[in-house]
């Protein structure tokens, strides 16, 4: 087939110090200080840099979720502990059943932060049907 040329060249900015990859706007735009501008001339090269950008975004998102879990995890455990305490010391069966159901609902939700996301360039998402 040969090398397919793109009419609008995707531009990425790469920071070698921390491995960050950003998608740029235009190929004539200058790179920010400390960043390297990569102008993709073929679809294959654009796919490689887009994959690197997705890997960077995935790792940053996972770090954010871990930081959220460090803050929100103890709060959730304290809520469960308080519900157990109130359930054990409830005055009647109605309150006990209500708190048991609330605790069951809280335990059934699982970890809301365990989701995964993936980002695409607009053209890639269109090609993949997303």
* Strand bridging mode 11-15 / 20-23: antiparallel
Those residues whose C-beta lies under 8 Å from the C-beta of residue 81, and which sit 6 or more positions away, are none
Question: Does 6 map to a domain?
Answer: no
Tell me, what's the pLDDT at 129?
56
Nearest to 52 by CA among 30, 23, 29, 10: 23
- Residue labelled with tokens 């090609």: 127
Question: Does 109 map to a domain?
Answer: yes
pTM for the model? 0.67
3-state secondary structure the chain: CCCCECCCCCEEEEECCCCEEEECCCCCCCCCCCCEEEECCEHHHHHHHHHHHHHHHHHHHHHHHHHHHHHHHHHHHHHHHHHHHHHHCCCCHHHHHHHHHHHHHHHHCCCCCCCCCCCCCHHHHHHCCC
Strands ordered across the beta sheet of 11-15? 20-23, 11-15, 36-39
Tell me, what's the pLDDT at 123?
61
Tell me, what's the pLDDT at 78?
93
Tell me, what's the pLDDT at 110?
67
Question: Does 2 map to a domain?
Answer: no
Walk along the chain (130 residues) and give the pLDDT tens digit of each residue: 556 666 678 889 999 888 898 887 777 888 888 899 999 888 888 889 989 998 999 889 889 888 988 998 898 899 889 999 999 998 999 999 999 998 888 887 766 667 777 776 666 655 555 5
Question: What's the domain count of the chain?
Answer: 1
Which residue range is the domain that position 69 belongs to? Answer: 11-127
Torsion angle (degrees, nearest 10) of CA 21, 24, 29, 32: -30
């Amino acid at each position: 087939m040969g090398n397919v040329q793109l009419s609008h060249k995707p531009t990425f900015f790469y920071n070698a110090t921390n491995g960050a990859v950003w998608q740029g706007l235009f190929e004539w735009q200058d790179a920010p200080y400390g960043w390297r501008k990569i102008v993709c001339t073929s679809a294959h090269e654009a796919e490689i840099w887009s994959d690197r950008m997705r890997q960077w975004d995935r790792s940053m998102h996972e770090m954010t979720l871990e930081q959220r879990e460090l803050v929100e995890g103890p709060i959730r455990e304290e809520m469960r502990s308080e519900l157990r305490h109130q359930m054990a010391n409830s005055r009647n069966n109605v309150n006990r059943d209500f708190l048991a159901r609330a605790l069951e609902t809280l335990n059934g939700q699982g970890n809301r932060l365990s989701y995964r996301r993936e980002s695409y360039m607009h053209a890639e998402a269109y090609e993949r049907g997303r």
